[in-house]
Chain A
Amino acid sequence: MSKRYIFLAVLLIGSAFGLTQLPEKPNKKQIPPDELLIKIYDQARYLTTREIAKRIIDRDPSIFLVDVRTPSEYEEYAIPGAFNIPLENILDDQWRDYLNQDGVDVIFYSNGTIYADQAWDLIAQRGIKNLYIMKGGLNEWFATIIKPVAPDETAPSEAFDQYAFEKAASIYFGGSSAGVDAAAPAEKKEVVVRKKKKKAAEGGC
């Protein structure tokens, strides 16, 4: 056996062994800041409380509501079906798959808009597309869905249509119109998260 073959064999096995010794590299893929900036300017990431309420009432399976407030606040009141991931833990690896689901819109909300927006900023850096924010947060949720205010008599008819929907939604979500205490604890939903399937790239032989 010639020296050349021995050298090649050692080289191959050696370099393959080197692969096993490489330290684990965490998958911290992030999009460049300029791309993120464009995403931040895109107002389409805001959903109104009415849109979200409608999708919950319709039992839309493609939404995943994330409550970024503290667990104690979440216990006190949460939108039905919402899942609690406090903002301080939002980057934990255990939530990685929850926040990155194909075909599921992940919607962040907090009391206002700011915390949800911060959660969005952090997660959007991973290049995930279907991330949204509930505009106005729970304050807006209470003002529109739980305790809707009747429009002025001179308001356009759309406002009345909207009010009709809000009143109906209010009954659905156990708001004042149904005569139920607004702060009734929401049913918490068990979330089944499927591992993200790899998309096949185009092409092949």
Chain B
Amino acid sequence: MGPLTYFGEISTEWNYVIALFIGMAFGYIMEASGFSSSRKLIGVFYGYDFAVIRVFFTATLVAIIGLLYMGYFGWIDYSVLFVHPTFVASAAIGGVIMGLGFIMGGFCPGTSLCAVAIGKLDGWVFTIALFVGIFLYSQVFPWIEPLYNAGDMGHIKITEYFGISQGWFAFGFAVVAVAVFFITTLIRRKVKDVRY
């Protein structure tokens, strides 16, 4: 995790304090919107609740549009933004594992901590298992290191890779997102039996 500012306007200690408050706000909003319930989270896989997919699409879309406008007006220098390196093969395999774990466990790592905070038993089990998993992973890491580094493409963005303009990518993404919102609403209407 990087500092909030690069030139030391905010000291390291205050960075942590601010991070703490951002984390608290994040956790509070997540819990308040019901994301500590595994029934709500996995609803997206069974077709009765699409809050997860909507939240992700909305967050991504708002971030894209906001960043691009602010970058254009010079309020943000996005050449200093961190772009995660892309590892195609390991991302695909990791994504499958993550998805399976998500359906089976009913949480993703962040929401499981949220469930722990409000004392949910399944949240506790999930989180303990999560740390066991991390431990096992660290033990077998030497064997799976080639997979871990598979398909390294470096710090690359979709728009750079395909050579499309950022604006048109954002527009395409917005259209897809709104289509997803619409389709999920239709599916949601058809489902009568909702068990939370």
Q: Name A residues whose Cβ lies closer than 8 Å to a Cβ of B.
A: 1, 5, 9, 12-13, 15-17, 19-22, 25, 198, 200-205
Q: Is the CB of A12 within 8 A of B174?
A: yes
Known: A25-B72, A204-B82. A13 touches B178 (CB 8 A): yes
For the complex, give the distance between the alpha carbons of A153 and B143 in Å.
Answer: 70
Chain A residues positioned under 8 Å from B82 (CB to CB): 200-204
* B167 is an interface residue with CB less than 8 A from chain A: yes
Q: Is the CB of A198 within 8 A of B177?
A: no
Nearest 10 CB-CB pairings of A with B: A203-B2, A16-B174, A19-B167, A20-B167, A16-B171, A9-B178, A204-B82, A16-B170, A201-B82, A200-B155
Q: Is the CB of A13 within 8 A of B79?
A: no
Known: A16-B174, A200-B82. A22 touches B181 (CB 8 A): no
For the complex, give the distance between the alpha carbons of A204 and B155 in Å.
Answer: 12
Residue in A1, A16, A200 with the greatest tally of chain B CB atoms within 10 Å: A16
Q: Is the CB of B181 within 8 A of A201?
A: no
Q: Is the CB of A22 within 8 A of B79?
A: no
Chain B residues positioned under 8 Å from A13 (CB to CB): 171, 174-175, 178
For the complex, give the distance between the alpha carbons of A9 and B2 in Å.
Answer: 33
Q: Is the CB of B181 within 8 A of A17?
A: no
Q: Is the CB of A12 within 8 A of B167?
A: no
Known: A13-B171, A200-B155, A204-B2. A19 touches B166 (CB 8 A): yes
29 contacts between A and B (CB under 8 A): A5-B181, A5-B185, A9-B182, A12-B62, A12-B177, A13-B171, A13-B174, A16-B61, A16-B65, A16-B171, A16-B173, A16-B175, A17-B171, A19-B68, A19-B166, A19-B167, A20-B165, A20-B168, A20-B170, A22-B72, A22-B167, A25-B72, A198-B83, A200-B155, A201-B80, A202-B2, A203-B82, A204-B2, A205-B1
Range of interface residues on chain B? 20 to 34
Chain B residues positioned under 8 Å from A202 (CB to CB): 2, 82
Inter-chain CB contacts under 8 Å: number: 71
* B85 is an interface residue with CB less than 8 A from chain A: yes
What residue in chain A is nearest B4 (Cβ atoms)?
A203
* B192 is an interface residue with CB less than 8 A from chain A: no
Chain B residues positioned under 8 Å from A16 (CB to CB): 61, 64-65, 167, 170-171, 173-175
What residue in chain A is nearest B77 (Cβ atoms)?
A29
For the complex, give the distance between the alpha carbons of A22 and B167 in Å.
Answer: 8
Chain A residues positioned under 8 Å from B65 (CB to CB): 12, 15-16, 19
What residue in chain A is nearest B74 (Cβ atoms)?
A25
Q: Is the CB of B3 within 8 A of A203?
A: yes
Chain A residues positioned under 8 Å from B46 (CB to CB): none
What residue in chain B is nearest A15 (Cβ atoms)?
B65
- Cβ-neighbour of A204 out of B84, B171, B174 (below 8 A): B84
Chain B positions 167 through 191: 1 when the CB is less than 8 Å from some CB of chain A, otherwise 0: 1101101110110011001000000
* B55 is an interface residue with CB less than 8 A from chain A: no
